[in-house]
């Protein structure tokens, strides 16, 4: 699986957009970009994933650069409950392929 | 959405005893489940891949005789920590994917194991 690089921590004001970057310069053509988050002492929560097109769901938007070497997760209106560790993971879409977690980004949303 | 239930959420046991953790996919079938372990202030580390009807695949450095995995049905996998020691105290998390390679992994809420 391709390695990802994320900043260790970020801060965001409540109500503002949180933009979390991820570099995955060695991504292969058949690898998807997945985003998860983990709130303290809970299991990770799936947020969104994509291959090359931008994606949006009720939680967030995922912007993937044209060369696919980086992506940005956007939480449009961050709330205090969005404070968590956010993980960007690349994975080949096969049935048995696993997710390998890096260190992630600790996002702190401030009042 | 897909839900993975993990039980118990917390367990305290004495050194030398065994503990069983259950992981269930509630509204979907999963031929493959994954078990992770997380120590304080660290990221999740994959321990093993659990395959329905066959033997689990363990990551390097994980003792298969200590961490017994059974995946007896398409909705249930169990992890048994045998002869637990204080260094086994950790947060254990299971995950499962619907039977589609494009589906995301869904995670249980974890089991906090404390060995005294």
Q: Are strands A9-13 and A105-110 parallel, antiparallel or unpaired?
A: parallel
Q: Are strands A70-75 and B45-51 parallel, antiparallel or unpaired?
A: unpaired
Phi, psi of A2 (to 5 degrees): -65, 150
In this prediction, residues A79-101 reach a mean pLDDT of: 89
CA-nearest of A51, A53, A50, A48 to A86 is A48
In this prediction, residues A77-105 reach a mean pLDDT of: 91
Convert the pLDDT of each residue in B31-78 to its tens digit. Answer: 889 999 999 999 999 999 998 888 899 999 999 999 999 998 999 999
Query: Which residues of B touch chain A, with CB atoms under 8 Å apart?
Result: 4, 6, 31-32, 34, 36, 43-46, 49, 51, 91, 93, 95, 97, 99-102, 104-110, 112
State the average pLDDT for chain B. 93
Q: How confident is the model at residue B97 (pLDDT cuts 50, 70, 90)?
A: confident
Structure tokens at A60: 């967030």
pLDDT at residue A41, rounded to an integer: 87
CA-nearest of B3, B9, B2 to B93 is B9
pLDDT at residue B53, rounded to an integer: 84
Q: Which residues contact B24 (CB under 8 A, 6 or more apart)?
A: B4, B5, B6, B7, B75, B76
**pLDDT of A1 above 70:** no
Convert the pLDDT of each residue in A15-65 to its tens digit. Answer: 999 999 999 999 998 899 999 999 988 999 999 999 998 999 999 999 999
DSSP symbols for B32-96:
EEEEEEE-TTS--EEEEEEETTS--EEPTT--TTTEEEEEEETTEEEEEE-S--GGG-EEEEEEE
pLDDT at residue B34, rounded to an integer: 94
**pLDDT of A102 above 80:** yes
Determine the residue among B38, B105, B111, B113 to mutate to test chain A binding: the one whose Cβ has the most chain A Cβ atoms within 10 Å: B105
SS3 state at B71: strand
Q: Are strands A105-110 and B4-7 parallel, antiparallel or unpaired?
A: unpaired
pLDDT at residue B72, rounded to an integer: 84
Q: Are strands A45-50 and A70-75 parallel, antiparallel or unpaired?
A: unpaired
């Amino acid at each position: 699986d391709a390695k990802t690089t994320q900043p260790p921590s970020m801060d965001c004001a409540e109500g503002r957009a949180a933009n979390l970057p991820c570099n995955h310069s060695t991504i292969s053509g058949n690898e998807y970009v997945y985003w998860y988050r983990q709130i303290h002492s809970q299991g990770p929560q799936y947020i969104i994933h994509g291959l090359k097109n931008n994606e949006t769901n009720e939680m967030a938007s995922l912007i993937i650069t044209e060369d696919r070497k980086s992506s940005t997760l956007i939480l449009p209106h961050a709330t205090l409950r969005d404070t968590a560790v956010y993980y960007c993971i690349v994975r080949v879409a096969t049935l048995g392929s696993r997710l390998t977690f890096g260190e992630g980004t600790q996002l702190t949303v401030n009042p | 959405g897909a839900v993975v239930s993990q039980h118990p959420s917390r367990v305290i046991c004495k050194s030398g005893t065994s503990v069983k953790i259950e992981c269930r996919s509630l509204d979907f079938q999963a031929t493959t489940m994954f078990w992770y372990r997380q120590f304080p202030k660290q990221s999740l580390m994959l321990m093993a891949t659990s395959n329905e009807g066959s033997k689990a695949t363990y990551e390097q450095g994980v003792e298969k005789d200590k961490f017994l995995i059974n995946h007896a049905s398409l909705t249930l996998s169990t992890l048994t920590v045998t002869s637990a020691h204080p260094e086994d105290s950790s947060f254990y998390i299971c995950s499962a994917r619907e039977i589609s390679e494009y589906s995301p992994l869904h995670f249980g809420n974890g089991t906090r194991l404390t060995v005294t």
